[in-house]
Chain A
Amino acid sequence: MSIVIAYSPDIYGRAALDHGVAEALLRETRLVVVNATRGDSLVDSHYAHEDEIQQVLNRLEAEGVDAKVRRDVVPDIADAVLTVAEEEGATLVVVGIRHRTPVGKMLLGSVAQRVILDADCPVLAVKPTKR
């Protein structure tokens, strides 16, 4: 029993984190934050810095959620999220979603889409709050 959050250090990842925490408090379950990287470039802006992960952990502790962070180097991010969801017996996966341009859709795959379509459990797709 746990909630898995696909996290990246940007507004989408933070939106997923916010909603995931709220959901975990509501359901009183454990929280698993997944921040994976393909590790095939020298710098990956979707891979959080150590101190940022520490901030996330501190925040989760402050909110009183039983949480852990998984930071893996994997061939495929979506697969990594799905694997963790399976291993942890997830009851919910939370992903942040974003608008994509037609060209972007043609060129790039979508981690969120793969997770939504392939996960065995319900998936909560969230957006960053508009201001």
Chain B
Amino acid sequence: MDLLLEGFSTALTPTNLLFAVLGVLLGTAVGVLPGIGPAMTVALLLPVTYSVPADSALIMFAGIYYGGMYGGSTTSILLNTPGESSSVITALEGNKMAKTGRAAQALATAAIGSFVAGTIGTVLLILLAPKVGPLVVQLGAPSYFAIMLVALVSVTVVLGSSKLRGFIALFLGLALGLVGMTSGQPRMTFGFAELSDGIEIVVVAVAIFALGEALWVAAHLRHKPLEVIPVGQPWMSRSDWSRSWKPWLRGTALGFPFGALPAGGAEVPTFLSYVTERRLSKHPEEFGKGAIEGVAGPEAANNASAAGTLLPMLALGLPTTATAAVILVAFESYGLQPGPQFMSQNEDLVWALLASLFVANTLLLVLNLPLAPVWAKLLRIPRPYLYAGILFFATLGAYSASTSPFDLGLLLVLGVLGFAMRRFGIPVLPLIIGVILGPRLEEQLSEALQISRGDYSTLWGEPVAIICYLLMGLLVASLVVARLRSPRPTTPTSVTEKDEVNT
């Protein structure tokens, strides 16, 4: 408790409060705009880590992450275009509600539900994080290796409809992670001296998220404008409250654990929450026509999963969403390595971050409830202006990573790769997680093999490792079974896949 209060004293200094406000404002803005997500924003802002102290920068990034979850719902409800992959499900009922003139209630239940879920999720995070810390310290290299392997496989397999595309992205990411010096030998540098230090992850993240998206938008610049539903002040009636509070809690209960799982993210729990609400609802006939439960549940779930995601990230250094992956890059640029010893070694920082989550969450409620119509105005920004700005910051960010013109060329090449991935529907998340986890996977593997003097059986010599491999086996087996049972998957290339690309 003292630690938390100390965290608040760091988070509430005027400077950090300002960074928190900046973070939530930016986060909401990018959440509202489809195609631009918190992952891209944090990637673009990575250069601030060179001049801003660690606590301020991380507080801002946390604000962006939470803010993105709030903002996404606004676009889902008013435009029927999810601003964020986590709000895809919200659009199902939210937009129907808006069309029947209940946009204000939909926005209100989304914002308040997000607040409730975010708060509960953060409390859970604060309770669990110190417990998990000591457990992870005991893990040896083989277990660690296995856990990372599970994370890579499940992120690739669970999300998106095509496993093949997922694995293409994963191996692209792992290949990029291989570039650099290993035991004194240059590997995959193709004779470029500049590549011998490896590819800066900042450059990869900026290229894939920002440049790829900008090129993609440039290729599809002119669209028929969408019809935005005008809305006043969000508010809820008594019956809306009584219909919302249970879905909020159930959404939180689904969201947090899924966020904490290696394959979590927000897509699965929001979907599950929607299905649950539809089954439990007292007004099943309203589903499909604008049921408030169908907005309240998924919106709570996606914010709770954002809190859940931070658990494996802080305790294990395992990112499970694109945004968490990029925030991890920020940690690394401060020379901090989230993982077993991280929590005990950087207590001040971790608690300041956790306290700032409460601050961010409260700020978001205050900002979003009255300002939702204002945020919707952001959608009128012409894309050329928006993406010109993004390209500027992308170039600046990539160049400042190591002030080398070579990186700019690399940025361009990888940007074209990012564009191609969007073109062919290859998800971005496995790539970015592959780039980040690849080198660490290798490190753990060689460490484990060094300790065992090259005996491979050490890899399954720890109980945790065995459990991980069993899980992985189950996962793959269940996929095979599912494929055998229904040779033609009934779900067509879904919305989720497209939006995953957009995260």
Contact = CB atoms under 8 A, between A and B. Distances in A.
A45 B226 CA distance: 10
Interface string A42-73: 11110101100000000000000000000001
A122 interface: no
Interface string B245-289: 000000000000000000000000000000000000000000000
B455 interface: no
30 contacts: A37-B224, A37-B225, A38-B382, A39-B221, A39-B222, A39-B223, A39-B225, A40-B221, A40-B222, A40-B382, A40-B384, A41-B379, A41-B380, A41-B382, A41-B383, A42-B79, A42-B223, A42-B226, A43-B79, A43-B225, A43-B228, A43-B376, A43-B379, A43-B380, A44-B225, A44-B380, A47-B224, A47-B225, A73-B222, A75-B222
B224 A45 contact: no
Contacts of A49: 227
Contacts of B379: 41-43
A73 B222 CA distance: 7
B222 A41 contact: no
A58 B185 CA distance: 76
B290 interface: no
Nearest to A51: B227
B110 to A, nearest CB: 19
B81 interface: yes
A34 to B, nearest CB: 15
Interface of A: 37-45, 47, 49-50, 73, 75
Contacts of A40: 221-222, 382-384
Contacts of A45: 380
Nearest to B377: A43
Contact of B34 (A37, A42, A44): A42
B480 interface: no
Interface of B: 33-34, 79, 81, 221-228, 376, 379-384
A47 B227 CA distance: 9
Contacts of B376: 43
Q: Is the interface of B mostly helix, strand, loop or mixed?
A: loop
Contacts of B382: 38, 40-41
Q: Is the interface of A mostly helix, strand, loop or mixed?
A: loop
Contacts of B222: 38-40, 73, 75
A50 B81 contact: no
A41 B225 contact: yes
Most chain A CB atoms below 10 A, which of B79, B81, B222, B384 = B222
B29 to A, nearest CB: 13
B223 A73 contact: yes
A37 B382 CA distance: 11
A57 to B, nearest CB: 17
A43 B383 CA distance: 10
Nearest to B387: A40
Contacts of B223: 39, 42, 73
Contacts of B33: 42
B408 to A, nearest CB: 27
A72 to B, nearest CB: 10
A42 B225 contact: yes
Most chain A CB atoms below 10 A, which of B225, B380, B381, B384 = B225
Contacts of A38: 222, 382
Given A40-B222, A42-B383, A73-B222, 13 more contacts: A37-B224, A38-B222, A38-B382, A40-B383, A41-B381, A42-B34, A42-B226, A43-B225, A43-B228, A43-B376, A43-B380, A49-B227, A73-B223
A49 B225 CA distance: 9
Nearest to A52: B227
Nearest to A74: B222
A86 to B, nearest CB: 22
Top-7 shortest CB links A-B: A44-B225, A39-B222, A43-B379, A42-B379, A43-B228, A41-B382, A40-B382
B227 A50 contact: yes
A100 B383 CA distance: 24
A100 to B, nearest CB: 19
A39 B376 CA distance: 17
Nearest to A49: B227
A57 B81 CA distance: 28
B309 to A, nearest CB: 28
